[in-house]
């Protein structure tokens, strides 16, 4: 009956680990990206969005006399001349609303105000970023277009003090981060688990061998912790696999016994 008990234990562990693996994978998919610096957002899988390549001034027209200027990831001076004191975009801004009819400009946010909206790697809707400055909010939908070598900024709607824009570019697509894009020393979840397994194995065997040697005076293979279990493990694995393939039912030989 001990062999049957071992097989049942193996089957239970197999099902438990399989469910844990599926659950862990699903949780990874539901983890929001982590914002790195001003313009990067990294998912636990090592994939993410890097807006730094969109390093130029973009413009979109709202009306014949009004437009919005955008320079992602960096505060710049848009060089807008004004005959009035109401001009907030001469320097140190990232996004600016320009009213040429009244010769005025309004800062909609600095580079450090940019925030990635809570994102999930496998969501169906496009990703977006947001600027906030006082009562003004600017939402920018990131449209992934692998054919758009040159980024294009389009105006969509105004809702009170909220401006809705769209940025189309191949540089706003989710992609696997390179070593230069990711934070130094970043490891994937799989790498962390492998390292933990190796460390645990080393501590288990080395610590166990030293303990048996010093406390019991064991020598040779007797120094291996739980040697009987490790010698039986290949057979337990074989029986467990056969038991699993058999629908977690004992072989007919057990019934005969």
What is the domain-level CATH number for residue 111?
2.70.130.10
Please give the residue range of the domain that contains residue 205.
1-24+187-246
Confidence (pLDDT) at 83: 60
Confidence (pLDDT) at 26: 44
Q: Which is more confident, 179 or 131?
A: 131
Using an 8 Å Cβ cutoff, are 87 and 102 in contact? no
pLDDT surpassing 70 at residue 48: yes
Could you tell me if residue 251 is inside a domain?
no
Average the pLDDT over each of 19-23, 60-64, 87-91, 130-134 and give the range with the smallest value: 19-23
* Mean pLDDT for the stretch of residues 125-137: 92
What are 74-107's pLDDT values in tens digits?
A: 999 886 665 655 788 888 899 999 988 888 889 9
72 and 158 share one domain: yes
How many Cβ atoms from other residues are within 10 Å of residue 147's Cβ? 6
Residue for token pair 């413009």? 59
Structure tokens belonging to residue 98 = 């320009």
HSE-CB of 60 using CA atoms within 13 angstroms: 20
Q: What does the alpha-carbon distance between residue 257 and residue 39 come to, in Å, rounded to a whole number? A: 68
Could you tell me if residue 255 is inside a domain?
no
pLDDT surpassing 60 at residue 140: yes
Q: What are phi and psi of 12, to 5 degrees?
A: -65, -45
pLDDT surpassing 50 at residue 13: no
138 and 196 share one domain: no
163 and 197 share one domain: no
pLDDT surpassing 50 at residue 11: no
pLDDT tier at 10, thresholds 50, 70, 90: very low
Candidate ranges 70-84, 117-131, 134-148; pick with highest mean pLDDT: 134-148
């Amino acid at each position: 009956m001990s062999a049957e008990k071992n097989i049942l234990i193996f089957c239970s562990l197999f099902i438990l680990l399989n469910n844990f693996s599926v659950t862990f994978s699903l949780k990874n998919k539901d983890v929001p990206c982590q914002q790195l610096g001003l313009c990067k957002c990294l998912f636990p899988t090592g994939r993410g969005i890097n807006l730094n390549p969109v390093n130029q001034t973009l413009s979109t027209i709202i009306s014949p006399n009004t437009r919005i200027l955008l320079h992602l990831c960096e505060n710049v001076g848009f060089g807008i001349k004004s005959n009035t004191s109401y001009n907030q975009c001469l320097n140190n801004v990232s996004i600016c609303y320009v009213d040429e009819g009244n010769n005025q400009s309004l800062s909609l946010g600095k580079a450090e105000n940019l925030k990635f909206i809570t994102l999930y790697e496998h969501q169906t809707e496009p990703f977006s970023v947001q600027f906030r400055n006082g009562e003004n909010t600017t939402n920018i939908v990131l449209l992934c277009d692998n054919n758009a070598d040159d980024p294009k900024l389009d105006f969509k709607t105004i809702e009170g003090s909220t401006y809705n824009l769209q940025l189309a570019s191949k540089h706003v697509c989710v992609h696997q981060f390179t070593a230069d894009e990711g934070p130094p020393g970043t490891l994937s979840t799989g790498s962390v688990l492998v390292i933990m397994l190796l460390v645990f194995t080393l501590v288990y065997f080395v610590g166990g061998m030293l303990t048996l040697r010093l406390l019991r005076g064991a020598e040779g293979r007797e120094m291996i912790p739980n040697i009987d279990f490790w010698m039986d493990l290949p057979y337990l694995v074989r029986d467990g696999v056969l038991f699993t393939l058999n629908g977690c039912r004992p072989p007919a030989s057990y019934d005969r016994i």
